[in-house]
Amino acid sequence: MTKYVADKLTELLRVNPFYEICGLITDNGDVIEIANVAKHKANNYVFDTLSYYSELRELKRLNIKVVATWHSHPHCNSEPSTLDIEYFLKSEYDMVIVSFDGVRELKHA
């Protein structure tokens, strides 16, 4: 993860201290935010399906690949939750979690 990505995620967390925010990180080092449509946004996140798939389509058109998903933990440290680990193991992407203690990366081997 580049310093740009880490700084950008930290900044997004700072301006969104109440609810989890989430999105994608691309292989050209960009951070994309996807709307969180979870019912309990303070401690959970669910990508808005329409924005998620329209982003994926647009990235594919531009030949840009998604390398990781990211989300914030505004109310706890960057330790992955049980659900986070479950998602990570099922996902083809790496996972990045940003909290006030820093930015943590879960990488597939």
Residues in contact with Zn ion by the rule CB under 5 A: 81, 84
Label residues 17-47 b or e (16+ Cβ within 10 Å = b): eebbbbbbbbeeeebbbbebebeebeeebbb
Question: Smaller CB distance to Zn ion: residue 2 or 77?
Answer: 77
Question: Smaller CB distance to Zn ion: residue 2 or 81?
Answer: 81
Provide the minimum distance between the beta carbon of 97 and Zn ion in the complex, in angstroms, as a whole number.
6
Provide the minimum distance between the beta carbon of 25 and Zn ion in the complex, in angstroms, as a whole number.
15
Provide the minimum distance between the beta carbon of 61 and Zn ion in the complex, in angstroms, as a whole number.
30
Question: Smaller CB distance to Zn ion: residue 49 or 81?
Answer: 81
| Beta strand pairing call for 66-72 and 94-99 | parallel
d(CA 72, CA 86): 17
